[in-house]
Structure 1
Amino acid sequence: MKEEIVLKPDEALEYVKSNVKKEDILELSYNRVFAPGEVLDVMVEKEFEEEEVIISLHLNGDLVNDVVRVNLNNIKDDLLEIGHITDEKETIIVIED
């Protein structure tokens, strides 16, 4: 089942915190970057009284097959789309300004 939802950047971070779990597939599109990968961890850390959402991804790719940590708070204004794929469904989150 495929679902598409439109969210503001802060709402998209809340979606990730609430719905993305280990072993899900997450496809981040921001700026000119497309980073698909398996979620290794979703961390919420407090820094300077603000929550930060940090995703660890094992990237899927022929050229790049590495583990990266992405602080979504740092790129939230550049996010274009997030693909969230689980065993049950696929959700496409379109980011609106």
Structure 2
Amino acid sequence: MKEEIVLTPINALDYVKSNVKEGDVLELSYNRIFAPGDVLDVKTEEDFGEEVIIVSLQLNGEIVNDVVRVNLNNIIDDLIEICHITDEKETLIVIEE
């Protein structure tokens, strides 16, 4: 089942924090970057006194397949959409102010 939702940047961060789990697939589209990968971990950390969300991904690219840690708070203004894929469903999150 495929679902599309429109969220503000802050609500998109809350969605990732609450719903994305290890083993899910997350596809991040931001700026001119498309980064699909398997979720290894979703953490909340403190950075300069502020709570930030860090997602660790095993990238699924043909050329780039490294493990990366993405601080979603750092790219939130550039995020266009997030696709969250689980065994049960696919959720496309369109980011709008």
Same fold (TM over 0.5): yes
State the TM bucket, normalised to the shorter chain: over 0.9
SS at match of 2:88: coil
Q: Match of 1:19?
A: 19
AA aligned opposite 1:26: L
| Seq. identity, % | 74
User: 2:72 corresponds to which residue?
Assistant: 72
Q: Report the number of matched residues.
A: 97
User: How many Å separate the matches in 1 of 2:61 and 2:47?
Assistant: 32
Q: What secondary structure sits across from 1:69 in the alignment? A: strand
Residue 49 of structure 1 and its aligned partner are, at CA, apart by 2.8
Aligned equivalents of 2:30 and 2:48: distance in 1? 25
Amino acid at match of 1:63: I
AA in 2 matched with 1:65:
N
Supply the RMSD in Å over aligned alpha carbons.
0.6
> What TM-score do the two structures reach when normalised by structure 2?
0.97
TM-score norm. by structure 1 comes to 0.97
Aligned to 1:87: 87
